[in-house]
Amino acid sequence: MCGRPQRYGALVIVEELIQKTTALADSTEKRKKLPDRHNGCQETAFGSPRDFLDNRFVYAVVSARARGLSVGVNMCPDKNCNFQCVYCEVHRNGEPREGPLAVEAMAAELKKTLAFVRGGRLRERPWYRTLPDELLQMRHVALSGDGEPTLAPWFAEALQAVVHVRALSGFPFFKLVLLTNATGLDLPQVQHGLKHLTPSDEVWAKLDGGTQAYVNKVNRPGVPLEKILSNILLLARQRPVVIQSLFPAINGEEPPLEEIEAYSRRLLDLKNAGAQISLVQIYSATRPSPNSQSGHLPLKILSRIAQTVRQTSGLTAEVF
Ligand code: SF4
């Protein structure tokens, strides 16, 4: 026990990750001329590779927000998304990594990967050898990927397959986390699929701003902000939701103060309308993006944003 407050401990892990991986991030920059499928900045997390372990759909990655190892399912190998975020790590104009998700093949890969990770086999791979043990603890299985999971026609089938792997493959229980831009949360097949989640599972819904003008600049969404908010509210009235908010430096500039205030008021409005928001994650672009406008905001500014969220909305906000 180091005696530090727990939240400080989380920040220390993040800082350790950043330090440990800066050199690798630099080398990722140098690889920018390689073709997309070998070079998307989605391939790195704090500089660590999104490691597909010879799989097509399932990968392992060390993630600050997971506070350790996340096993991910690329729910959108076809890269379908209705946002074009300035910080997106996927080369959206390049060739997709794969075609449609093959659900059975994904489930088989997930079982194999869980056995590999649980067996401590990641240590055999060079990048993981010197990582502290706590960063190699598997924290969850993430439903994420190169696009927006809730727009995938196979969403419910894939979610059900992952739930079956959890229930039937004999591994200890693991938490599922759905990462989403929230735009498909009201779709009947998505609502149906989400019924398979347990109370331990989590939905991390993206909300990157409080005004349509700013969201247009950062997310370039195919839907209005009001739709994103109403979808978050729809789900957060049914079950607790984690809000994930990425604030990039755009051309070196931090988000305007009025924007952070508007964003914080949106969170308050959601809470007042009955949304259960268990956590607001404040973070910045940490992985190289194909868009050179987008950069990383210093911890000091992120901390200030989190403070405004806490003061305005009374919600728990953490910086990652
Ligand atoms: S929502 Fe996600 S996948 Fe879609 S553009 Fe934004 S960061 Fe990329």
Domains and CATH numbers, the chain: 5-319 (3.20.20.70)
Assign residue 47 a region: left if phi > 0, alpha if psi is -120 to 50, beta otherwise?
A: left
Burial of 213: CB neighbours in 10 Å, binned 0-12, 13-18, 19+: exposed
| H-run or E-run covering 142 | strand 138-144
Q: Is the CB of 306 under 6 A from ligand 1?
A: no
Q: Is the CB of 80 under 6 A from ligand 1?
A: no
Q: Is the CB of 181 under 6 A from ligand 1?
A: yes
Q: Is the CB of 84 under 6 A from ligand 1?
A: yes
| 30: nearest Cα among 318, 288, 291 | 288
DSSP-based helix, strand, coil % in the chain, nearest 5: 40, 20, 40
Q: Is the CB of 148 under 6 A from ligand 1?
A: yes
Q: Whose CA is nearest to atom 3 of ligand 1?
A: 147
Q: Is the CB of 160 under 6 A from ligand 1?
A: no
156 within 8 A of 193, measured Cβ to Cβ = yes
**DSSP assignment, residue 253?**
B
Q: Which residue has the tokens 């330090």?
A: 19
Return the best residue to mutate from 76, 78, 88 for the ligand 1 pocket (most ligand atoms within 8 A of CB): 88
pLDDT at 292: 76
pLDDT at 99: 85
Q: Which residue has the tokens 């659900």?
A: 103
Return the best residue to mutate from 43, 148, 223 for the ligand 1 pocket (most ligand atoms within 8 A of CB): 148
pLDDT at 47: 53
Residue 195: how many CB atoms within 10 A of its CB? 10
Burial of 135: CB neighbours in 10 Å, binned 0-12, 13-18, 19+: buried
How far is Cα 312 from Cα 152, in angstroms, rounded to an integer? 35
In the reported structure, the alpha carbon of residue 307 is separated from the centroid of ligand 1 by a whole-number distance in angstroms of 26
Structure tokens at 65: 């927000």
In the reported structure, the alpha carbon of residue 84 is separated from the centroid of ligand 1 by a whole-number distance in angstroms of 6
In the reported structure, the alpha carbon of residue 147 is separated from the centroid of ligand 1 by a whole-number distance in angstroms of 6
**Averaged in consecutive runs of 10 residues, what is the pLDDT profile of the chain (320 residues)?**
36 48 38 31 51 95 94 96 94 82 98 95 92 93 96 97 94 96 98 97 98 97 97 98 97 96 98 98 85 90 98 98
Contacts 24+ apart (CB under 8 A), 57-60: 57/98, 57/101, 57/102, 57/105, 57/106, 57/109, 58/106, 58/109, 58/110, 58/112, 58/113, 59/113, 60/113, 60/117, 60/122
Which whole-number Å values give the CA distances from 119 to 137, 138, 239, in the listed order? 11, 11, 33
How far is Cα 66 from Cα 73, in angstroms, rounded to an integer? 14
Atom of ligand 1 nearest to the CA of 84: 5
pTM value is 0.87
Burial of 238: CB neighbours in 10 Å, binned 0-12, 13-18, 19+: middle
